[in-house]
Amino acid sequence: MSHNVFNRISSDLCRYDQYFVQKSDAAKKVELLPQQKLTCSLRMLAYGARANQCAEYCRMAKSTSIEALKRFTRGIINLYSAEYLRTPTPADLKRLLTKAERKGYYLADGIYPQWVTFLKSIPRPTRPKDLKFSQAQEGYRKDVERCFSILQTRFSIVRGAAHGWDREKLRYIMLTCIILHNMIIEDERPDDNDEDLESDEEEDNNMRPRLARVWEGPTGDDFDPVGRDGYYFNGFMDRYDAIRSANSHSNLQEDLIEYFWNVQGNMEI
């Protein structure tokens, strides 16, 4: 988490909940800084640390650490849920579908069926084309798999066992981790639109052909409704069979192998 995100959260929480504002007690003793309470909460989320493990580092008692985390999670959800847990907007969908335009299928391993929507790895490749393609396919697939483990890697409290939390607190903790993750991703994203970030060189080296146009949303002309009568059901079965066509799957894979070999075949395997 960058300093900008941390300072933004600190300022917003201090305005939202006076608990995080540094105060003095009746004996004029200065209490904890808001940064101490935020750091303690973030360490418990990021490292899965117990409340008593933050005592020495953050100079906070166990009970204070638990209270800070409780107020932190509720503050984060009340402040940022509308922005970072919202449903995708039309602009979000257009941006995601523009990216998906370069990957109109799912990268999968050998256990998946031979469907058009699955691009499987090649078992025991022997041809140079197959070897080159398998290396790229497995590399991209591992990158995608790592994306799903980023949240657990970033917040160990999600991966580890729950230490004495009830169901409601676990829900707050999980939602807080998701919101913080989205805030970090937004902070790390460049200011320019995604469509403007991809250079011509990246377009030329892209192994995935453009398989679809940007979908502006379903209309009555795009899809036939699936009803109970035989006409619409036959249309549904035609689409069902087309997606699960092993022959189309093999043709797609062979076309992509040839395409990738033509683009990067001269590079050393």
For residue 14, the model assigns a pLDDT of 92
Amino acid at 85: L
Of 87-91, 120-124, 204-208, minimum mean pLDDT range: 204-208
Evaluate whether residue 200 is within a structural domain. no
- Contact assessment for residue 38 and residue 6, using Cβ atoms and an 8 Å cutoff: yes
Q: Burial, 49: exposed, middle or buried (Cβ in 10 Å; 0-12, 13-18, 19+)?
A: buried
Separation of alpha carbons 63 and 130, rounded Å: 59
- Give CA–CA dist 44/156, Å, rounded: 8
224 vs 50, higher pLDDT: 50
In 3-state terms, what secondary structure has residue 105? coil
CB 70 within 8 A of CB 169: yes
Regarding predicted confidence, which is higher, 205 or 161? 161
Quick one: pLDDT at residue 218?
46
Instruction: Look at residue 80 in the predicted model and tell me its pLDDT.
Output: 92
Whether 138 and 236 map to the same domain: the answer is: yes
Q: Domain of 28?
A: 3-87
Report yes or no on 41 lying in a domain: yes
Confidence band for 22, pLDDT divided at 50, 70 and 90: confident
> What angle, rounded to 10 degrees, do the helices at 167-188 and 3-16 form?
130
Report how many helices (DSSP H) and strands (DSSP E) the chain contains, helices first: 12, 2
Residues 6+ apart with CB under 8 A from 201: none
Coil, strand or helix: which one is 236?
helix
- Is 19 among the domain residues? yes
Are the C-beta atoms of 177 and 155 separated by less than 8 Å?
A: yes
pLDDT digits (tens, 9 = 90+) for 63-98: 888 899 999 999 999 999 888 887 777 887 787 777
Residues 8, 62: one domain? yes
DSSP state, residue 101: T
Q: What percent of the chain has pLDDT over 70?
A: 77
> Is residue 230 in some structural domain?
yes
**Helix H or strand E segment including 204:** helix 200-205
Q: Which of 91-95, 105-109, 201-205 has the lowest mean pLDDT?
A: 201-205
* Per-residue model confidence (pLDDT) at position 12: 93
For residues 139-154, give the mean pLDDT.
73
Last residue of a domain, one of 35, 60, 87: 87
Total residues belonging to the chain: 269
> Is position 15 within any domain?
yes
Judge if 75 and 144 occupy the same domain. Answer: no
**Can you tell me the distance from the alpha carbon of 183 to that of 71, in angstroms, rounded to the nearest whole number?**
19
Say if residue 111 is in the same domain as residue 80: no
| Residue 98, CA distances (Å) to 48, 76, 203, 216, 234 in order | 37, 31, 13, 10, 31
Last residue in a domain, options 87, 107, 136: 87
Say if residue 56's pLDDT is above 50.
yes
Q: Is the pLDDT of residue 9 over 80?
A: yes
**Number of structural domains the chain divides into:** 2
Q: Are residues 42 and 73 in the same domain?
A: yes
> 39, 58 in Cβ contact below 8 A?
yes
Judge whether 210 lies within some domain: no
